């Protein structure tokens, strides 16, 4: 099976992003962060694809779509942060091949509450962890898709981030089955917040000696933000982070059984 995790950057690099998804249309599971959804006729705002969710859905006709928003009617991107006068939701999406049986899907808050934030302080933006529980030939697989806490302090440990890691561990530890935790964690690889997750799962970014998950479109010095963790009993056949320019993040591609 194959899973791809990517922060889409709101579709700012739309053409190469769509081309990449078309190329990998046969992927079993897509875990996407920073995805916009709108019911309005406005498809682009400040360079972001407000209709990105529906556009990806049209490409992935053989997949079921699961979308969870954390903020409504507010455009929160790298260079634009403002309320909108049109319908807009921002969140994360999981696409699962229709041949795979879904047992359950949902989300839980890891920071703040939906739509409860200070627009003048990006540190207050609410964050969620989205998940699906799948039935793979009688065996359970839990896939958790995270877009982690952002702070102006950088990708360092904070009280909120330590709490976030604990919440994720507590959630996953209660569930039986193989597990995959992926997404944009907004964390450096050397943080205690990452080490907490490594206590019970394999960090594939570290295990495969990945040099970076960012590219030239990211102005910061940090080399890491994105991770895939897997439970020890999941058989990994391949893991790579190709240097393709489709976002300000690089995609992570996991093949497993």
Domain boundaries, the chain: 2-256
Question: DSSP string covering 144-196, please?
Answer: EEEE----TT-SS--HHHHHHHHHHHHHHHTS-SEEEEEEE----TTSHHHHH
User: Which class is domain 2-256?
Assistant: alpha beta
Q: What span, in angstroms and rounded, lies between the C-alpha atoms of 127 and 146?
A: 8
Instruction: Show the low-confidence residues of the chain (pLDDT under 50).
Output: none
Whether the Cβ atoms of residue 225 and residue 155 lie closer than 8 Å to each other: yes
- Residues 120-161 have pLDDT tens digits of 777 888 999 999 999 999 999 999 999 999 998 899 999 999
Query: And the tokens for 63?
Result: 């997949």
pLDDT of 78 reads 54
Q: Is the full-model pTM beyond 0.85?
A: yes
């Amino acid at each position: 099976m194959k899973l791809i995790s990517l922060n889409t950057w709101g579709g700012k690099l739309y053409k190469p992003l769509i081309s990449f998804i078309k190329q990998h249309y046969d992927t079993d599971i897509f875990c996407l962060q920073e995805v916009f959804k709108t019911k309005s006729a406005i498809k682009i705002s400040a360079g972001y694809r407000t209709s990105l969710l529906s556009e990806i859905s049209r490409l992935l006709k053989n997949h079921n779509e699961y979308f969870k928003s954390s903020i409504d009617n507010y455009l929160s991107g790298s260079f634009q942060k403002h309320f909108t006068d049109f319908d807009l939701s921002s969140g994360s999406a999981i696409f699962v091949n229709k041949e795979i049986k879904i047992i359950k899907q949902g989300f839980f808050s890891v920071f703040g509450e939906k739509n409860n934030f200070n627009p003048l302080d990006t540190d207050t933006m609410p964050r969620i962890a989205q998940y699906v529980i799948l039935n793979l030939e009688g065996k359970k697989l839990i896939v958790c898709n995270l877009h982690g806490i952002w702070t102006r302090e950088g990708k360092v440990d904070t009280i909120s981030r330590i709490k976030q890691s604990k919440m994720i561990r507590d959630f996953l530890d209660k569930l039986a089955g193989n597990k995959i935790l992926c997404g944009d964690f907004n964390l450096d690889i050397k943080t205690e917040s990452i080490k907490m997750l490594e206590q019970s799962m394999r960090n594939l970014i570290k295990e495969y000696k990945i040099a970076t998950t960012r590219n030239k479109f990211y102005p910061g010095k940090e080399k890491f933000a994105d991770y895939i963790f897997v439970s020890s009993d999941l058989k990994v056949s391949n893991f790579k982070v190709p240097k393709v320019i489709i976002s300000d993040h690089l995609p992570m591609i996991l093949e497993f059984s």
